[in-house]
Amino acid sequence: MQLTSLPNSLRPREKLLEKGAKALSDAELLAIFLRTGLPGMNAIELAQHLINENKTLHNLFNASIDEFCAQKGLGMAKYVQLQAVLELSQRYMQESFVRDAVFNSPQAVYDYLTLQMRGLQQEVFMVLYLDSQNRLLKDEILFYGTINAASVYPREVVKAALKNNAAAVIFSHNHPSGIAEPSQADKLITNKLCQALQLVDINVLDHIIIGGESSVSFAERGLI
């Protein structure tokens, strides 16, 4: 059934205007983004099909460009639109978060980092520079690696921390494999970084590994 054949109360756009976005299902929200369906399948039905095929919205939104464009009803234009929407959403959330961000617990850091590292296919090493009250001064990706490893250089980390007048830092890197457990190499480089920053009186508060939906805090594990 075409959406135009549905009563206004069941049409996603009209429903959103009347009741607000929270009243819509995942399929209805996605249908607004898709705008049109396919022969024999309206936009809501297509949206539900895509959700079912990908299991979760997370999987759909984080599909590679080839995986995304290969799916029924999607293509390059939709991929570009989706990436723009996701990036705008991330920047909005980051802007709201940073305004009063005080990193006084691993959970607070994790919430922030999930905004930064969502969907990254490549391993990166990020540093959060904090003032003496643990307020965020700046975040920065210092090193990019392959999907398996990132090369991290203590001298560059120290230089960047001093440049940003940091009183403390928090390290983070992602494991695109989805497994957050630290490797022996992760532990070794963290120790080297702690020793290097100690020489210039900058505290290392934590190193958090993000792996899919899970995370590991070195501070909580007693590794720092």
Q: What is the pLDDT of residues 167-184, one digit of tens each?
A: 999 999 988 887 889 989
Question: What residue ranges in the chain does DSSP mark as E strands?
Answer: 124-130, 136-144, 168-174, 203-211, 214-217
Reduced to 3 states (helix: H, G, I; strand: E, B; else coil), residue 44 is: helix
100, pLDDT greater than 70:
no
User: d(Cα 175, Cα 120) in Å, to the nearest integer?
Assistant: 9
Residue 99 has pLDDT above 60, yes or no: no
137-178 pLDDT, tens per residue?
888 999 888 645 568 889 999 999 999 999 999 999 988 887
Distance CA 52, CA 145 (A): 33
Asked if residue 191 lies in contact with residue 198, where contact means CB atoms within 8 angstroms, the answer is no
pTM, whole model, 2 decimals?
Answer: 0.64
Mean of pLDDT values over 88-104: 70
Domain ranges in the chain?
3-91, 101-221
At residue 62, the pLDDT reads 83
- Give the model confidence (pLDDT) of 38-72 as tens digits: 888 899 999 999 999 999 888 898 888 999 999 98
What 3-state class would DSSP assign to 151?
coil
- Asked if the model's pLDDT at residue 1 lies above 70, the reply is no
Sheet of 168-174, strand order: 136-144, 124-130, 168-174, 203-211, 214-217
Q: Give domain 101-221's CATH architecture.
A: 3-Layer(aba) Sandwich (3.40)
Residues 49, 27: Cα–Cα separation, whole Å: 9
Mean pLDDT, the chain, rounded, equals 86
* CA contacts within 13 A on the Cβ side of 20: 2
User: Is 43 within 8 Å of 36 (Cβ atoms)?
Assistant: yes
